[in-house]
Amino acid sequence: MNLSLHHLVREPKIKLDKNPLLLLLHGYGSNEEDLFSFASELPEEYYVISARAPYDLMYGSYAWYAINFDADENKFSDIEQAKTSRDLISNFIDELLANYAIDSNNVNLIGFSQGCILSYAVALSYPQKIKRVVAMSGYFNAEIATQNFKENDFSNLKIFASHGSVDQVVPVDWARKAEPTLKQFGIDIVYKEYPIGHGVSPQNFYDFKNWLQQ
């Protein structure tokens, strides 16, 4: 099956007429194998599909958008590339619905780091497509969302956001802004922190898995 993004699939162990989807979006410099490593632990009724980001950094590393450094070592995100990836993911969801027996009303994103930033952008830009988001170790960047995203209907969107309190890659202060900001838009968001760095602790995994099953 030749879809726009290379991906791995774990079929649901419990087959329904239409099964819910968990779409996994990895971080900068990683690949589709990363989050897929815990696919076997995710709820059995879901399709678990892990997508590979489009920009090749060589040696099995990929990115959703470039991160550039200036002479003073300030980091800059390539916002235009990020927007392209946002729409690539949105279109990829349409392709998955056309090719797999997926329930279009139960599409869920799990994003880590750069994949988390994209998950926020996709969900707030196209909330009619997304039911829930697990947003780990990233932050909400309004610049990557569609221009008039604030006018969207977020009444069915739910978000579980989490971050390591000693994250040395993405400052925890950036992550903390998501909850008050998104609540202003009427989005149902839960935010949790864990005493770890830039990663997913067992407790974090357990908490979001429970949240998905509620």
What is the model's pLDDT at position 84?
97
pTM over 0.75: yes
Whether the CB-CB separation of 48 and 22 falls below 8 Å is answered with yes
181 sits in the region (left: phi over 0; alpha: psi -120 to 50; else beta) called: alpha
In single-letter form, the type of residue at position 75 comes to K
Q: In whole angstroms, how far apart are CA 5 and each of 106, 147, 149, 171?
A: 20, 25, 25, 29
What is the model's pLDDT at position 77?
81
CATH class held by domain 7-213: alpha beta
What is the model's pLDDT at position 101?
96
Q: What is the pLDDT along the chain (214 residues), one digit of tens a residue?
A: 789 999 999 999 999 999 999 999 999 999 999 999 999 999 999 999 999 999 999 899 999 999 876 666 667 788 999 999 999 999 999 999 999 999 999 999 999 999 999 999 999 999 999 999 999 999 999 999 999 999 999 999 999 999 999 999 999 999 999 999 999 999 999 999 999 999 999 999 999 999 999 8
Q: In whole angstroms, how far apart are CA 37 and each of 24, 67, 121?
A: 11, 25, 24
